[in-house]
Amino acid sequence: MKKRYTMPIITIITILILTIIFSAIYLTYLKKLTRNNTLKNLGELTKQNAAKIENTIQEHKRILETITNEIEIKKPKLKEEIFKIFERNSGRQKFSRIAIMYKDGKTITNDGETLDLSQNKEEFFKSNNIQISQSQKSQIDNQEINIYSKKITWNNEEVVILLSLDTDKYEEIFSQSIYNGNSYEYIITNEGQIIANSKNEQNGQNIIKKLEEANKENKNENLKTIEKIQKDIKNNSNGQTIYFVNGLSYYTAYQKLQNTNWYLIVFTQGKIIAEELNKILELTFIIAIIIIFILLIITTYIIITSQKQKEKLYKLAYIDKITMLGNYNFFLEEGKKFLSKYRNNNYSIILDIDKFKSFNKKYGHNMGNKLLKKIGEILKETLNNKAIICRLSNDLFGILLNTEKDIKETIEKITTKLSKIKIQDKTYTIYISMGIYKILENEYNIKKILDKTLIAHNEIKGNYNKKYKMYDKKVEEKIEKEHELESIMQEAIEKEEFKIYYQPKISTKTNQMVSAEALVRWKRNGKMISTIEFIKLFEKNQFIITLDKYVFEKVCIDISKWKKKIKNIPLISVNISKEHFIKKDFIKEYKEIAKKYGIKPEELEIEITESALISENTNYIKEVEEIKKEGFIVSIDDFGTGYSSLSILQNMPIDIIKIDKTFIDKIDFDKKGNNLVDYIILIAKKLNLKTVAEGIENEEQAKYLKEIDCDLLQGYYYSKPLESSQYEKLLG
Ligand code: C2E
Ligand code: CA
Ligand code: CA
């Protein structure tokens, strides 16, 4: 039974594993996807922020451009005028101050300070374009500043106009920065020097150094990342990458600020963006897996309950509740499998408990059931694994056995083990009988095999000396023939294959035929089928009723035909079987048929065998009285073979006794007056009954019977049963 669960459980586990694997793959894929997307997104945002910074720088440059242009066009003489131009061009709002640097480095600011920048002057004078300095401390107020500068010619002298910008101004841009301030943004030079940052950290440090410092774990992948950033910013390339610190991922994007040597580099904690998303994804997956799991549990439950249901039904259909052995259906199903597994040396055995009914009556049903169960157990114990043991019906066990040993040994073993059975400390003696059939090599039809085994078993019925019987093919052939006859009997009637023969009965007084017996014959395809055989079969299957009636009607037809031509027709006797004559109203029916052909009942004799009249402790006096009442003549056939008592004979309203052939055959001619047949005739005379001797085959017999005053003689000595036309010739 456990096997039945393996398949569904394996399926479920497989589905579960597949789901988990699939989920894991999908999750990794999604993580990667979100990571890439986040990076891309970060890159995009960085680009936008960079654009903002670029705009600001551009604006700063434009202011400086406007101021220097105006100076060069208007050519003011005084420095105060230059400061005014600065103020007019709203430079005041952006820049903290303006200054003019002379060739020697002397620098004068608009708030009246004079500084000596001779040390750095080269830098300022080296280019004609606008230059932006790195962050530095203002010498005036120690503020962190960046200086925008441009070289011009003023008052025929080369000077540099300087605008100082508080570094804070860049940092203001960061205040509306990406990811709600959860990011670190730096403006750096292409060397990595920090110019401005979003977190109020010290500027001027090198970002690369900072990253290297953060990589305390000395992670190789971090080193690679740092190297890449360093290389990229040197080569004016933009990029995105991931950086790990203490197990946390930092998404990084860097974007070159146009028209400068500067970069915007942004760091943001992966946790904040991607991991938040990953968590949702993970949760979704966990929920999905839980749902799948629940669904699987439900399905498993359904499968298991339906399996249980199936098992229940299976048990009902295949298991015998009393013995817990398989039943008839089981025998058919499993038997087939058994035979295909073990091809040779297979036997089918039917085991029957003799007088099980009496056992039940004597000890009760409960004990009967216990006996059956015990027998099942003993059989299981006795036979090895290579056997199927079933209870086919009440007290009938069916066994399929595979054994290379002599089967008789096994049978002996079973018989011995089952002869005395102990149930609850009490020992019962039981008798069993078995039918055995050796199964042929390629024989798989269990029903047919069972039939054969039953045929063998049926052969022991009533033979209590025998414990078992092997199957005999002849018996089966007989049964097969019977089946064949049964299949064609109805058709035989329709095709008029049954013919009526007449056997004369001769009067010992006149030596003339005074009567004849109608006997049926069955000729099929030119071959005679033995009358005894088909009559016995038809008595078993009740077809005899149909046939008797048919014969009776044919006889009536014949008589009516003869009557038209001939006077004084001999009395015709017809045989009737027991099944028929005990049937209600049968004689009325016969009378109707006779009437139909204008025949009086007294023109017909009905032969009933002795064994039919008196059997199973009942006699049918009433039925015979009925027949007599209708006017038919009644004879008792095969007299002497049954067990009728004289008293019954006396009360039975019969007319004729037909002495069975066996008595005729047994006549000892030297013991005249002392043969059984002498006494039968004596008694018959006493009872006023006519006598017919059957089976007279020779003159001696005929003579003897004449001498002891038997009334009629019938037998081959006078005539065999004759075809209707031949018999008609005898009538003259
Ligand atoms: P039965 O009624 O005892 O019929 C006599 C049988 O003895 C007939 O066999 C007959 O052919 C045979 N017989 C007659 N004289 C001799 C003889 O000198 N020597 C030998 N050895 N046999 C002789 P049959 O015709 O084969 O019939 C066998 C039995 O079948 C009959 O025995 C009868 O019981 C039954 N039977 C025949 N026809 C019918 C029928 O139409 N209806 C019924 N119910 N039974 C019939
Ligand atoms: Ca007869
Ligand atoms: Ca007879």
| Nearest partner of 637 among 666, 606, 603, 663, judged by Cα | 606
Strand, coil or helix: 597: coil
| Nearest partner of 27 among 272, 283, 296, judged by Cα | 283
Sole residue written with tokens 């197990």: 247
Please report the atom of ligand 1 found closest to the CA of residue 500: 41
| Best residue among 519, 543, 641, 720 to mutate for probing ligand 1, ranked by most atoms within 8 Å of CB | 519
Does pLDDT of 315 surpass 90?
no
Question: How many Å apart are CA 458 and CA 479, to the nearest integer?
Answer: 12
Lowest mean per-residue pLDDT among 229-233, 276-280, 342-346, 724-728: 276-280
| Atom 41 of ligand 1, nearest CA residue | 520
CA of 28 to the centre of ligand 1 (A): 99
Does pLDDT of 276 surpass 70?
no
| Atom 21 of ligand 1, nearest CA residue | 695
| Ligand lying closest to the C-alpha of residue 551 | 1
> How distant, in Å, are the alpha carbons of 209, 227, 391 from that of 674?
149, 142, 57
Question: How many Å apart are CA 109 and CA 139, to the nearest integer?
Answer: 11
pLDDT tens for each residue of 30-81: 778 878 888 888 888 889 888 988 998 898 999 999 999 999 899 999 989 9
10: pLDDT confidence band, cut at 50, 70 and 90? confident
- In degrees, rounded to 5, the angle at the alpha carbon of residue 470 between the alpha carbons of residues 465 and 473 is 125
Lowest mean per-residue pLDDT among 4-8, 298-302, 397-401, 454-458: 4-8
| Contact residues of ligand 1, CB 6 A cut-off | 503, 519-520, 531-532, 535, 544, 548, 551, 575-577, 607, 637-638, 695-697, 715-716, 721
List domains and CATH numbers for the chain.
Answer: 1-318 (3.30.450.20), 328-471 (3.30.70.270), 480-731 (3.20.20.450)
Average confidence (pLDDT) over 117-129: 88
pLDDT tens for each residue of 471-503: 988 877 888 889 999 999 999 999 999 999 999
Residue pair 633/656 in contact by the 8 Å Cβ criterion: yes
Does pLDDT of 1 surpass 50?
no
CA of 613 to the centre of ligand 1 (A): 18
3-state helix, strand, coil in the chain (%, to 5): 50, 25, 25
First-residue to last-residue Cα distance in the chain: 84
Residue pair 480/473 in contact by the 8 Å Cβ criterion: no
- List, as ranges, residues with CB under 5 A of the ion ligand 3: 637-638, 694
Mean pLDDT of the chain: 89
Sole residue written with tokens 């002392």: 674
Burial class (CB within 10 angstroms; exposed 0-12, middle 13-18, buried 19+) of 169: middle
User: From the CB of residue 702, how many other CB atoms can be counted at a distance below 10 Å?
Assistant: 21
Using the 8-state DSSP alphabet, how is residue 689 labeled? Answer: -
Please report the atom of ligand 1 found closest to the CA of residue 520: 38
Burial class (CB within 10 angstroms; exposed 0-12, middle 13-18, buried 19+) of 63: buried
Per-residue pLDDT at 272: 65
pLDDT tens for each residue of 189-198: 988 989 888 8
b/e 334-346 (16+ beta carbons within 10 angstroms → b): bbeebbeeeeeeb
Cβ contacts of residue 608 below 8 Å, gap of 6+?
A: 576, 578, 581, 624, 634, 635, 636, 637
Please report the atom of ligand 1 found closest to the CA of residue 717: 18
Question: How many Å apart are CA 585 and CA 441, to the nearest integer?
Answer: 54
Lowest mean per-residue pLDDT among 15-24, 332-341, 613-622, 677-686: 613-622
Residue pair 350/398 in contact by the 8 Å Cβ criterion: yes
| Atom 23 of ligand 1, nearest CA residue | 695
